Amino acid sequence: MVLAFHGVPTAPFAVVSHLDAHAPDAAARAIARSPYAAQLHAYPLFAKPASVSDGIGISAANKITRPGDLERVVGALRAAFPADDVLLERFLGGREFTVGVVGTGRAARAVGVRELVYLANSPLQPIDPRLAYADAEAVDPVYRDIDIYSREQKGRQTRNPQAVDHDMNEPVPRAVAAVALQAWAALGLRDGGRLDIRYDSMGPDAVPHVIEINPIPGMTPGWSDYPGLAAHNGITYDDLIALIISSAMERKPVSTVSNEAAAFCVRKVSNSYMMISRGPLNIFDVAEGTTTDDAQLARRGCR
pLDDT (tens place) for every residue of the chain, 303 residues total? 789 889 999 999 999 999 886 788 999 999 999 999 999 999 999 999 998 877 788 888 899 999 999 999 999 999 999 999 999 999 998 999 999 999 998 899 999 999 988 766 665 555 555 554 445 555 555 555 666 665 566 655 566 677 789 999 999 999 999 999 999 999 999 999 999 999 999 888 999 999 999 999 999 998 899 999 999 999 999 999 999 999 999 887 654 444 334 334 444 433 333 444 444 333 333 344 444 454 444 444 444
3.30.1490.20, 3.30.360.10, 1.10.760.10, 3.40.50.300: which CATH number matches 2-90? 3.30.1490.20
**Where do the structural domains in the chain lie, given as residue ranges?**
2-90, 96-118+161-232, 252-301
What pLDDT score does 204 carry? Answer: 86
What pLDDT score does 257 carry? Answer: 43
Q: Please name the residue ranges forming H helices in the chain.
A: 2-5, 26-33, 70-80, 134-139, 141-144, 151-156, 171-186, 225-232, 237-249, 292-301
Rg of the Cα atoms in the chain: 22
> Is residue 12 exposed (0-12), middle (13-18) or buried (19+ Cβ within 10 Å)?
buried
CB 27 within 8 A of CB 74: yes
Spatial distance between the Cα atoms of 108 and 91, rounded to a whole number of angstroms: 29
Spatial distance between the Cα atoms of 148 and 150, rounded to a whole number of angstroms: 6
Contacts of 236 (CB under 8 A, 6+ apart): none
What pLDDT score does 300 carry? Answer: 45
What pLDDT score does 295 carry? Answer: 45
CB 213 within 8 A of CB 98: no
Question: Class for domain 96-118+161-232, per CATH?
Answer: alpha beta
Stated pTM of the model: 0.76
Spatial distance between the Cα atoms of 223 and 168, rounded to a whole number of angstroms: 21
